Amino acid sequence: MAILEKSLLASISLSSKASVKGAAVSSSFTRPKGLLWGLGLALLSNVLFAVIYLYSHWLSPLTGTQVFLWRMVAMWFGLLALMLMTGGFATLRQFVAKLTTVRSKLLLVLPTPILASQLWLFMWAPVNGHAVNVSVGYFLFPLMMVVAGFLVFGERLNRFKTLAIALAAAGVALQIWLAGSISWSTAWVCLTYPIYYTLRRWQGVPSLIGLFVDLSIIAPIALAILVWQGSSLALITGSVFMMGLVVGLGAISAIAMHSNLQASQILPVNMFGMLSYLEPALMFILSLVVLHEVVSIEALWSFALIWAGIGVMIADAWLQNRRSKLVAVNG
């Protein structure tokens, strides 16, 4: 949602995927009880997003595209409940009031098609043989955000981040050399999501507000297509079990989003970032164990280089967190 997708729910910082979802951390949240609660919320959201990844498999005989359409409608209602619970509409009104030109209003909706394509791919991939490729795209995503931060915002790359990017690039190059190309689904996830987040950060759109605006555009179109097609509508409304799954999809999405937002406000940014890699790891495992996708030994070598790059990123985040604690103690 993917996985993703949870990074839509927090304020954006381009140093890691957690940074993409990063949030300010109050010193009161560094106490053990707060950390344990935040850790539990982060783990819950990661597991729930992985569960959503299997929904297209469970909602057979619906196609991945049909499941995507149903998810957009159910997710909008879940997001509406979240907006009501968190007072999001007041923030929405304040933000919209600042959009005084046609250009600023157009920029608000310009990234929406990118998000729609990503959410479609998240539901389409598991039932069309691209589950592993999409999970690899989400592994590469935080590394590409670091590159975006360097190219667009002039953020500096330390030695660890440079090494991480080099390892991931080597993994991609190996995959291209072995297979003649890189999967289009992998490339789409890791190359277009940074465009979405860069545009959102550049305009200063609050993450929850941006997601609600996006879904408010996507969901009515999805509903219109469902009504026009008719076949999946009849299948869902004609089965209590299928209707329950769709309602559950909206509820799980709302709970996952709310848990993720809460965790981003409680946990230190670096810890939140390291936990972010749990979701693509679960997606990768589920792709092999539940969806029975096959990965060649050659492909595993390229994945190993990408995972090594992620390991360096995690180590860098851990070291930064340790330095920050030392500075706080000595300061």
pLDDT at 11: 40
DSSP code at position 9: G
* Angle, CA of 226, 229 and 234, to the nearest 5°: 75
* Angle, CA of 300, 18 and 76, to the nearest 5°: 100
pLDDT at 271: 66
Measuring CA to CA, which residue among 32, 88, 49 is closest to residue 266?
Answer: 32
Q: Which residues of the chain have pLDDT under 70?
A: 1-33, 179, 261, 268-274, 327-331
pLDDT at 28: 40
Distance of CA 222 to the CA centre of its chain: 20
pLDDT at 239: 86
Residue found under tokens 């389409």: 124
pLDDT at 253: 83
pLDDT at 123: 93
Regarding pTM above 0.75, the answer is yes
pLDDT at 270: 59
The SS3 assignment for 254 reads helix
pLDDT at 68: 94
88, 209 contact by CB (below 8 A): yes
Q: Residue 141 and residue 119: Cα distance in Å, rounded? A: 15
